[in-house]
Amino acid sequence: MSLAKPWRDLDRSTVGSAPDRYALYELGDADGDTVGFGAGVLRDELKEALAYGDAAKVRWELADSLDHAERLLAEHTDG
């Protein structure tokens, strides 16, 4: 299930402005179709996603801890 947040372009500007906090994130292609989900420290995860170039867009939901981010991930991928 997709996050109910607006897409942002996955570029250096977005990565640089992303919070350095745990989060659930969703990656999308240029058309806004989901290509994957992940959980972790958002800025670090987005740096890696940008380097691999498999996604064009991103949206996220901040979490209080890694455990919280992983619970959010489970809710969005198991449902």
Interval 11-40: pLDDT, tens: 999 999 999 999 999 999 999 999 999 999
pTM, 2 dp: 0.93
Q: Is residue 58 a contact partner of residue 2, using CB atoms and an 8 Å limit?
A: no
pLDDT of residue 53: 87
Average pLDDT over residues 57-76: 96
Question: Cα separations (Å) of 46 from 42, 68, 78, 79?
Answer: 6, 18, 23, 24
Distance CA 16, CA 47 (A): 9
69: helix, strand or coil = helix
